[in-house]
Structure 1
Amino acid sequence: MKLLSLIRDRLLQLELLFAAASLLLLLVLAVAQIIARNAFDAGITQADTLTRYLVLYVTFFGATLAVDRNRHIKIDVACTLLSTRTQAHLYRPLRALAAVICMFFADASIRFWRDEWTYAQDYERWQVIVGLILPVGFVLLTIHFLLAALLGPDDDACRLP
């Protein structure tokens, strides 16, 4: 279990770094694009496309951090109806189910990405490479839900916010 905790901690550090770098790059690129359009009547080529992808980067890395801290969106109405003890008993099975669902999404996004790569024009390949965030993001979410299922709840994991 200590090895799994160590893996989770290192993964979180890396994801936090990527999330912060993505957000910083997004802000710098957006401000530079605004200045270029307003001051020089010209924009940065492909900046809008890159900012859209950076939003996905921030979203996926933020989602993995939220899953680890048990702060992800819960659409489960039963959470308000179940006792804390029952929620604690359901913690591992529900995280395992979420990992399986994310695994299906990861598989679909990998197949989608491969299809995009196959049919992308040479000048569009950079967008497909940047689009790797979709399969990578779902794989990371799968890993985090799987680690949560294996490691079990933290002290405050089953308390409602």
Structure 2
Amino acid sequence: MEEQAGGLFLFVAVALVFAQIVLRVVFNIGISGVYELATFSATFSVLLTASLGVKRNTHVRVDILRNLLSRRGALVLETVVQVLMLTVSLALLYSGWLLVDESLLFGDHTTGTIEIPMWAPQLIMPIAGALLTLRTLQRILSLIRTPDAVLQSPTPGAVD
């Protein structure tokens, strides 16, 4: 689900920016608020697909320390990293929820020509936090069940 939704939001962001450029260059007009919508779409794309990096174990990282450690040391390091990731994803979920709740309480809107209630674009934060939490918990369970398989470097281009 994350991959399709993230791809759709990325497509929307690119299409909006492309349309705005064409309108400005060819017709010398622009639509107010398009860049704001494109920014929201690009942000949605990034935050929705971040959980795929956790699921596939393909986030950018430096493996030098892990490669220098014994298998047991590497497992401990990976466990610590996943617990930290779980903490960050739960913080994103909680703080995102507080932000959305506050925006609803105060009735915040964007300040551009297109007035969008701020809770709508901010909703991506608790959604992304929930997805990251889910994927991190899955990763921790995989570490517990099959530690040797989880410690192997991911195969480039591999899809779960």
- Per the shorter chain, which TM-score range? 0.7 to 0.9
In structure 2, what is the equivalent of residue 71 of structure 1?
Answer: 58
Q: Secondary structure at the match of 1:141?
A: helix
Structure 1 portions without partners, runs of 5+: 1-13
**Superposition pairs of residues 20-99 of structure 1, within 5 angstroms:** 20-74=7-61, 78-99=65-86
Deviation at 1:86, TM superposition (A): 2.6
Query: Taking structure 1 as reference, are residues 75 and 103 closer, same or farther at Cα in structure 2, changes over 3 Å only?
Result: farther
Asked whether the 8 Å contact 2:92–2:125 carries over to 1, the reply is no
Asked whether the 8 Å contact 1:26–1:55 carries over to 2, the reply is yes
Structure 2 portions without partners, runs of 5+: 156-160
Question: How many pairs are equivalent?
Answer: 148
Asked whether the 8 Å contact 1:103–1:138 carries over to 2, the reply is yes
Q: What is the rounded CA distance, in whole Å, between the counterparts of 1:149 and 1:75 in structure 2?
A: 19
In structure 2, what is the equivalent of residue 146 of structure 1?
Answer: 137
Query: Taking structure 1 as reference, are residues 43 and 83 closer, same or farther at Cα in structure 2, changes over 3 Å only?
Result: farther
Runs (4 or more) in structure 1 with deviation over 4 Å come to: none
In structure 2, what is the equivalent of residue 103 of structure 1?
Answer: 90
Query: Taking structure 1 as reference, are residues 96 and 75 closer, same or farther at Cα in structure 2, changes over 3 Å only?
Result: same
In structure 2, what is the equivalent of residue 155 of structure 1?
Answer: 149
Q: What is the rounded CA distance, in whole Å, between the counterparts of 1:142 and 1:29 in structure 2?
A: 31
Q: What is the identity percentage for the equivalent residue pairs of Structure 1 and Structure 2? A: 24
Query: Taking structure 1 as reference, are residues 69 and 93 closer, same or farther at Cα in structure 2, changes over 3 Å only?
Result: same
Q: What is the rounded CA distance, in whole Å, between the counterparts of 2:102 and 2:63 in structure 1?
A: 34
Q: TM-score, length-normalised on structure 2?
A: 0.77
Q: What CA deviation, in whole Å up to 9, does each residue of 1:41-69 have, x standing for no partner?
A: 22123111111111211211221111111
Q: TM-score, length-normalised on structure 1?
A: 0.76
